[in-house]
Amino acid sequence: MANLKQERTFVLIKPDGVKKGLIGEVIKRFEQRDLKIVALEMFEPSRDMIDNHYPKYDAWIERVGGKTLSTYAKYGVDPIEALGTDDAHKIGTMVRGWLLDFMTSAPLVRMVVEGAHAVDVVRKIAGPTLPYAAEVGTIRGDFSIDSPAIANSEKRAVANILHASETPQEAEHEIKHWFGANAGFSYKRFGIDE
Ligand code: ATP
Ligand code: MG
């Protein structure tokens, strides 16, 4: 059985996180929860690398478009008036394009985070996708208030500080995509590994 303390997840600090000076804050919140940074680098991504990072399948695109539609429904915005369509797939495709613009607008910080239930715990520390709905105490809830209604009206993606893998399978794929096959250093954390 795999060592349960060595689950790994992939985290990308997005342009707004870098530009708000939150690199240290993000790392601090992982480390204080006994998670271990095992790879870390600032870099400038190509549009192609970002394009291949985000999923391209219909269900994902529709889920992204659906976030706009549900926020619009809640706040009484007509999607046809705002975006010219109420089709989740078409809106999702638009948002995906804005996401590529956003993610290539500044240097990013990529890292591999390791520890017990790293995938779920990191998502919990990050908070849910939409900052306006994220609980206070999460990174997204403490440092952003962005929403699809605001972002889409400015023809941009939601700025939510960081990306984190959603499942261990996605983490494995993303670590390989961003760091190559043999990513990550090995060391012991006091009080956790020794
Ligand atoms: P990430 O994959 O970046 O960790 P997530 O898993 O919480 O975030 P996804 O549904 O995978 O969210 O969407 C990817 C990213 O696309 C979001 O983090 C956000 O920046 C942007 N995004 C998603 N839905 C919308 C939307 N409706 N309008 C604008 N931007 C969006
Ligand atoms: Mg995601």
Rounded CA separation 29/173 (Å): 24
Q: For residue 104, give the DSSP letter.
A: T
Q: Whole-angstrom Cα distance, residue 186 to residue 125?
A: 23
Q: What is the pLDDT of residues 134-150, one digit of tens each?
A: 999 999 999 999 999 99
Give the per-residue pLDDT at 123: 98
Active site residue 163: yes
Whether residue 66 has pLDDT greater than 70: yes
Atom of ligand 1 nearest to the CA of 71: 27
Q: 112, 9 in Cβ contact below 8 A?
A: yes
pLDDT digits (tens, 9 = 90+) for 166-188: 999 999 999 999 999 988 999 99
152 lines ligand 1 (CB under 6 A): yes
- Altogether, the residues listed in the chain come to a count of 194
Minimum-distance ligand 1 atom for the alpha carbon of 14: 3
Query: What letter represents residue 87's amino acid?
Result: D
Q: Summarize pLDDT for 115-130 with one digit per residue, the tens.
A: 999 999 999 999 999 9
With tokens 């999923």, the residue in question is 55
And the tokens for 41? 């680098």
- Site to probe by mutation for ligand 1, drawn from 129, 166, 167 as the one with most ligand atoms within 8 Å of Cβ, is 129
Q: Could you give phi then psi for residue 112, rounded to 5 degrees?
A: -115, 130
151 Cβ inside 6 Å of ligand 1: yes
Among candidate residues 89, 117, 163, 173, the one labeled active-site is: 163
Query: Is 67 near ligand 1, meaning CB less than 6 Å away?
Result: yes
Pocket test for ligand 1, best of 69, 156, 158 (most atoms within 8 A of CB): 158
Q: Is 163 near ligand 1, meaning CB less than 6 Å away?
A: yes
* Domains of the chain with bracketed CATH: 4-179 (3.30.70.141)
What's the rounded Cα separation, in Å, for the pair 49 and 74?
Answer: 34
Rounded Cα distance between 147 and 130, Å, is: 6
Q: How many CB atoms lie within 10 A of CB 96?
A: 18
Q: How far apart are CA 39 and CA 177, in angstroms?
A: 14
Asked whether residue 1 carries a pLDDT value surpassing 80, the answer given is no
* Beta strand segments in the chain, E: 8-13, 36-43, 108-114, 162-164
What digits encode the pLDDT tens for the residues 69-118?
Answer: 999 999 999 999 999 999 999 999 999 999 999 999 999 999 999 999 99
The answer, yes or no, to whether any atom of ligand 1 lies below 6 A from the CB of 68, is yes
pLDDT band at 2 (very low <50, low <70, confident <90, very high): low
